[in-house]
Amino acid sequence: MNPSNYAITFACYNQVEYTRQCIDSMILHGTDLSRLVVIDNGSTDDTRNYLQSISLGGLTFNQANLGCGVAWNQGALALQAEWTIIMNNDVLVSANWVENLIHTAEKNKLKIISPSLVEGSMDYDFNAFSSKASKKMENSLRIGDRHAVCLAVHKSVWLDIGYFQPTPKLLGYEDTLFFHEADKAGIATGMTGASWLHHYGSVTQTAMKQERGLKEKDGLAYRYNYRLLKQSWLERKLKKIKKKRQQKEWSQNELKLYGMTMHGLRVENNFSWQ
């Protein structure tokens, strides 16, 4: 794939070791770092020193934590391309993850696409696992699914619905609002089994909860953010029920066909398929 066809960006806030592991995994699998833009949201650990020690396609240091919506927009605009991959920094990538992700989207005429995930502890050989999983499930596709751990967005989407809401107080609700607008506009989305990531599990949000004295089970975002969707309680309830049913159907079909699904959890050194 021509590297100029895509750009990659993620925001980070402290947690330098996760950022280092993420970038190391990109280097291992030949991802072109000149296509990577990193937005640092006011880190106070060694993140800035680390980022300045490597050559990237773009690097922005915000003076304060401006939230992921602002940072994602900064990254997407800093290096514009046909496809922009927005992702977390607490992930590991696999071989051909970019190529498989974008190829699947173009083949199926999708404008937003996410890879499959394993979440939790790194207590297994992810590289060996992902090599087999991407081949086994290369033709599996969940039309209509997506997630904010990683999503490739076609440039036409920015023109249709705009970028992420740049409001720091949303505290992680930006992806929900973005996907809501995409659904309203009828933008085709999907999740593919051809591309895999390992996700440690929202370590930045966990750290921000600790800073605010919140428990892990507490929500970080403002509890009334849902009002921004301008949907009634019944509309939200029915949509949630429909989504759960669809997730269950996808999972059952994938387990029947492949013995695994596109979303795995590591529980006591074993896979739990969702």
pTM for the whole structure: 0.93
Q: Rounded CA gap, 21 and 31, in Å?
A: 14
Report, in this order, helix, strand and coil percent for the chain, each rounded to 5: 45, 25, 35
User: Helix H segments across the chain?
Assistant: 16-28, 47-52, 67-78, 97-107, 126-136, 155-161, 174-184, 203-211, 233-258
pLDDT of residue 228: 86
Give φ, ψ of 59 to 5 degrees. -150, 125
Q: If one looks up domain 3-225 in CATH, what number appears?
A: 3.90.550.10
pLDDT of residue 171: 82
Query: Which tokens go with 66?
Result: 């401006």
Q: First-to-last CA distance in the chain?
A: 32
Q: Rounded CA gap, 202 and 221, in Å?
A: 14
pLDDT of residue 1: 72
Q: Tell the burial category of 71 from Cβ atoms under 10 Å away from its Cβ (0-12, 13-18, 19+).
A: buried
pLDDT of residue 201: 81
Residue 70, CA distances (Å) to 44, 121, 187 in order: 19, 29, 22
One-letter amino acid of 7? A
Query: Which tokens go with 187?
Result: 């933008």
pLDDT of residue 213: 58
**87, 26 in Cβ contact below 8 A?**
no
pLDDT digits (tens, 9 = 90+) for 79-137: 999 999 999 999 999 999 999 999 999 999 999 999 999 999 999 999 999 999 999 99
Which residue carries 């995409």 as its tokens? Answer: 182
pLDDT of residue 168: 86
Taking only the tens of pLDDT, the chain with its 274 residues reads 787 899 999 999 999 999 999 999 999 999 999 999 999 999 999 999 999 999 999 999 999 999 999 999 999 999 999 999 999 999 999 999 999 999 999 999 999 999 999 999 999 999 999 999 999 999 999 999 999 999 999 999 999 999 999 988 888 899 999 999 999 999 999 999 999 999 998 666 666 555 555 555 556 566 778 888 888 999 999 999 999 999 999 999 999 999 999 999 999 999 999 9
R_g of the chain computed on alpha carbons? 18
Give φ, ψ of 45 to 5 degrees. -95, -145
Q: Rounded CA gap, 136 and 139, in Å?
A: 8
pLDDT of residue 215: 57
**145, 182 in Cβ contact below 8 A?**
no
